Amino acid sequence: MGKAVVLVLVLALQVIGLVSGGNFYEECDATWEPQNCWAYDDGNSLSLALVSNSSGSMIRSKRQFIYGSVSTMIQLVKGNSAGTVTTYYTSSVGDNHDEIDFEFLGNETGQPYTIHTNVYAAGVGNKEMQFRPWFDPTDGYHNYTISWTPCRIVWYVDGAPIRVFKNYQQSHGVPFPTGRPMYAYSSIWAAEDWATQGGRVKADWTHAPFVANYRGIDLDVCECYGGDCVYGCAAAYGTGARGQQSCRLDDEQLGTMRWVQEKYRIYDYCVDYDGGKVPGKECSLPQY
């Protein structure tokens, strides 16, 4: 297998769409089971393989950053992907971590994937929102983008915003990732106990290896390794025309997001009261 590299992909904040080509060799490192990931097409494409219930693969960006937009093209595992999870996310390291998630939960052949999103701030998560894709994510490549700025986080699929999480930390005490630089990660692993229909359907290991494919990397992030750069990056993304644009969706984007949520959202933590759950303060505040 070829040289392994991580998934950190970014698109300009002004233009969220399909990414242009990039070189995984230069941008990325393997951090778990490097024998199960390989780059090809002169480093412009990458594959991650899940071989057994204890042997998947993870890749991580060489660059650490605070704020920006990370994006990639992914073709998810074809056929029976039950019990598998392909992830694409950003995360800080250490205790009380920050994290912004895309997780793609596999399913039986003919059944749809689940697109799972979440955000952690200072170790606090439980802000899940899930969607059914309105396309076949195993048929060709589709773009997935995380845009992280001081005022909000936006998840995009093929250029369409599907979710916004606004920064209400100062005004309402809602935890939001602002002080910990992150890396970008992608992985594939087995989660038979919960991933597919609540764990009812297990992985069929006769279909292994399960392979997810990636194409193209780009980045528009503020590189940062702690210290004063945290404040410099916040200023770069929080002021001027760029900062203002990054804090709102235009009317077309807003309409698209509402359409996706009305038709394809299948879970929203803000309306889940099971087991005595209490939605966070942000659930009663505007997210658009």
**Segment 245-267, tens digit of pLDDT:** 568 899 999 999 999 999 999 99
Tokens linked to 139 = 């048929």
Mean pLDDT of 6-22: 32
- Any catalytic annotation for residue 108? no
Tokens linked to 92 = 């800080």
Specify the pLDDT at position 246. 65
Query: Tokens 């992909």 — which residue?
Result: 9
**Segment 24-40, tens digit of pLDDT:** 888 889 899 999 999 99
**Segment 95-114, tens digit of pLDDT:** 999 999 999 999 988 899 99
Q: Is the predicted pLDDT of residue 2 greater than 70, yes or no?
A: no
- Any catalytic annotation for residue 128? no
Average pLDDT, the chain: 87
* Dist CA 250 CA 259 (whole Å): 14
* Dist CA 59 CA 47 (whole Å): 10
Specify the pLDDT at position 226. 82
Q: What percent of the chain has pLDDT over 70?
A: 90
* Dist CA 144 CA 115 (whole Å): 11
Tokens linked to 254 = 């807003």
pTM of the model: 0.89
**Segment 132-154, tens digit of pLDDT:** 999 999 999 999 999 999 999 99
Q: Is the predicted pLDDT of residue 20 greater than 60, yes or no?
A: no
Catalytic residue among 26, 27, 33, 99: 99
Tokens linked to 246 = 């990054």
The answer for residues whose C-beta is within 8 angstroms of residue 264's C-beta and 6 or more apart is 131, 132, 133, 134
Catalytic residue among 103, 223, 252, 282: 103
Specify the pLDDT at position 6. 28
**Segment 158-201, tens digit of pLDDT:** 999 999 999 999 999 999 999 999 999 999 999 888 777 777 78
* CATH class (in words) of the domain with range 24-271: mainly beta
Tokens linked to 143 = 């773009």
pLDDT range class, residue 19, cuts 50, 70, 90:
very low
Query: How many Cα atoms sit within 13 Å of 183 on the Cβ side?
Result: 17
Tokens linked to 37 = 């990931």
Burial zone of 242 (CB within 10 Å; 0-12 exposed, 13-18 middle, 19+ buried): middle
Specify the pLDDT at position 240. 52
5: β partners: none
Report long-range pairs for 152-157 (Cβ below 8 Å, ≥24 apart): 152/246, 152/247, 153/100, 153/119, 153/177, 154/249, 155/102, 155/117, 156/16, 156/71, 157/115, 157/133, 157/260
**Segment 55-75, tens digit of pLDDT:** 999 999 999 999 999 999 999
Specify the pLDDT at position 174. 95
Mean pLDDT of 216-242: 82
